[in-house]
C-alpha cells in the first residue's frame, strides 16, 4: 500500500472520529479515554521475531504450528504462511487486485478471509491455501475469529456479529461497551480461552471482551513495543494470535518489523452462560 493511500485512510479515520459525539470531557474539552478505567494487565515480552515489513497486516492466526497472515491494500493484498522460527514465507497467495484483504480466522480445517468494502468472504484450504467457497455479506469487513462453533466478525463499529460458517449468515449480534461507553473501532479479533481479544484501531490497546455481556474487562497497553525510530516507518498496532501450545499471545502491526510473543496472566475465562444484558459499569 502506498504511503499516500495510508495517509488518506488515517485522514478519513480522523474525520470520522471528529464527527462522533463527545463523551465525558476533561479540561480544555479533551475527549475522555473510554478505556481509562479498565484494568491493565502486566505482560512480559518472551520473544521478538522478524516480521515482513511490507505487509499491511490485517490479521494473524495459528493454523496448527504454522502462522498465517493477511496483508491488505488494493493490488497488494495477500496471504502468507510461515513458521515462527523462519521469517521467509512457506507459501504466499496473491489475492485479486480489486480486493482489500482484512481479517482471517481458521475454522474446522479451513481459513476464512474478509474483504474491507468488497462484500466478499473467501474460504481456503489449510495449509495449502487453495481457494474454496465464497460468501457475500453486507457492510464492511474488519476482524474475524472463531469461537470453535461459529465465526465472529467486527466491522469497525462497537457491534460484533456471529456468523454461521456454512453460509455466513448472522446468528447473533453483540454490542461492546467499556463501562457505559460503546467501544467502536474494534478491528482484528482472536478467541483466547473464552475471551474475545480485540485490537482497537488507531490505539495501542488490545482489550478482552466478555462474549456473553459485551463488557470490556481488561486491556493490554502495547505502546512501548516499538522504539521511536521503528515507529517512524511503521503503522498502527494490528494483529493478535494465540499460540495454545505455549500459551503465548503474539502481536504485531501494519508494516511492523517484529512479531512479539507475550506472556500474559489472563483472568479466568468469563462464564459460559447465555448472553446477558449486563451493564458494564
11 pLDDT more than 60? no
Averaged over 93-122, what is the pLDDT? 98
DSSP 157-181: SSEEEEE-TTT--EEEEEE-EETTE
The answer as to whether 215 is a domain residue is yes
Predicted local confidence at residue 25, as pLDDT? 32
Average confidence (pLDDT) over 258-269 = 95
Q: 273 pLDDT band (50/70/90 cuts)?
A: low
Specify if 26 maps to a domain: no
Helices first, then strands: H and E counts in the chain: 2, 22
- Give pLDDT tens digits for 22-78: 333 333 334 689 999 999 999 999 999 999 999 999 999 999 999 999 999 999 999
pLDDT tens for each residue of 135-184: 999 999 999 999 999 999 999 999 999 999 999 999 999 999 999 999 99
Is residue 62 a part of any domain in this protein?
yes
The domain total for the chain is 1
62: three-class secondary structure by DSSP:
strand
The answer to the question of residue 269 being in a domain is no
Residue 84 pLDDT: 92
Range of the domain at 232: 36-264
Per mean pLDDT, which range of 11-15, 84-88, 256-260 is the poorest?
11-15
| pLDDT digit string, tens, across residues 120-135 | 999 999 999 999 999 9
Give the pLDDT of residue 271: 72
The model's pTM: 0.88
- Collapsing DSSP states into helix, strand and coil, what is residue 150? coil
Could you tell me the CATH number of the domain that includes residue 92? 2.130.10.10
Tell me the pLDDT band of 87, cut-offs 50, 70 and 90.
confident
Domain assignment present for 12: no
Picking from 225, 230, 185, the residue whose alpha carbon sits closest to that of residue 207 is 185
Q: Which residue has the cell 499491511?
A: 56
CA atoms within 13 A on the CB side of 111: 27
Cell numbers found for residue 26: 476533561
Distance between CA 123 and CA 22 in Å, rounded? 39
Examine residue 79 and state whether it is found in any structural domain, yes or no: yes
| First and final C-alpha spacing in the chain | 40
Q: What is the CA radius of gyration of the chain?
A: 18
Asked whether residue 93 is domain-assigned, the answer is: yes
Q: Binning pLDDT at 50, 70 and 90, where does residue 10 land?
A: low
Sheet with 237-243, edge to edge strand ranges: 43-50, 258-264, 248-253, 237-243
Which H or E run includes 7?
helix 3-19
Q: What is the pLDDT of residue 86?
A: 86
| 149: its cell numbers | 462453533
pLDDT of residue 31: 65
- Residue 210 forms part of a structural domain: yes
Q: For 185-225, how does the pLDDT look when each residue is reduced to its tens digit (9 = 90+)?
A: 999 999 999 999 999 999 999 999 999 999 999 999 999 99
| Residue 90's pLDDT band (cuts 50, 70, 90) | very high
Residue 4 pLDDT greater than 50, yes or no: no
For 85, other C-beta atoms within 10 Å of its C-beta total: 7
Residue 259 has pLDDT above 80, yes or no: yes
Amino acid at each position: 500500500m502506498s504511503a499516500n493511500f495510508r495517509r488518506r485512510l488515517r485522514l478519513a479515520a480522523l474525520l470520522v472520529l471528529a464527527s462522533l459525539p463527545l463523551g465525558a470531557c476533561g479540561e480544555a474539552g479533551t475527549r475522555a479515554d473510554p478505556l481509562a478505567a479498565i484494568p491493565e494487565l502486566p505482560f512480559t515480552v518472551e520473544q521478538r521475531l522478524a516480521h515482513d515489513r511490507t505487509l499491511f497486516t490485517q490479521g494473524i492466526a495459528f493454523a496448527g504450528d504454522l502462522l498465517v497472515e493477511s496483508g491488505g491494500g488494493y493490488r497488494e493484498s495477500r496471504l502468507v504462511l510461515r513458521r515462527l522460527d523462519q521469517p521467509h514465507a512457506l507459501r504466499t497467495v496473491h489475492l485479486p487486485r480489486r480486493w482489500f484483504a482484512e481479517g482471517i480466522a481458521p475454522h474446522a480445517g479451513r481459513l476464512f478471509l474478509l474483504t474491507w468494502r468488497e462484500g466478499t468472504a473467501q474460504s481456503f484450504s489449510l495449509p495449502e491455501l487453495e481457494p474454496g467457497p465464497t460468501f457475500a455479506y453486507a457492510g464492511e469487513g474488519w476482524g474475524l475469529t472463531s469461537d470453535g462453533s461459529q465465526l465472529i466478525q467486527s466491522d469497525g463499529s462497537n457491534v460484533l456479529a456471529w456468523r454461521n460458517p456454512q453460509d455466513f449468515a448472522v446468528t447473533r449480534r453483540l454490542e461492546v461497551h467499556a463501562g457505559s461507553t460503546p467501544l467502536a473501532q474494534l478491528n482484528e479479533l482472536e478467541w483466547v480461552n473464552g475471551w474475545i481479544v480485540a485490537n482497537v484501531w488507531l490505539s495501542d490497546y488490545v482489550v478482552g471482551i466478555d462474549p456473553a455481556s459485551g463488557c470490556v474487562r481488561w486491556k493490554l497497553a502495547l505502546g512501548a513495543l516499538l522504539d521511536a525510530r521503528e515507529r517512524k516507518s511503521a503503522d498502527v498496532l494490528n494483529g493478535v494470535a494465540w499460540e495454545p501450545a505455549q500459551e503465548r499471545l503474539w502481536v504485531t502491526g501494519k508494516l511492523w518489523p517484529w512479531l512479539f510473543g507475550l506472556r500474559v496472566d489472563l483472568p479466568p475465562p468469563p462464564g459460559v452462560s447465555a448472553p446477558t444484558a449486563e451493564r458494564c459499569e
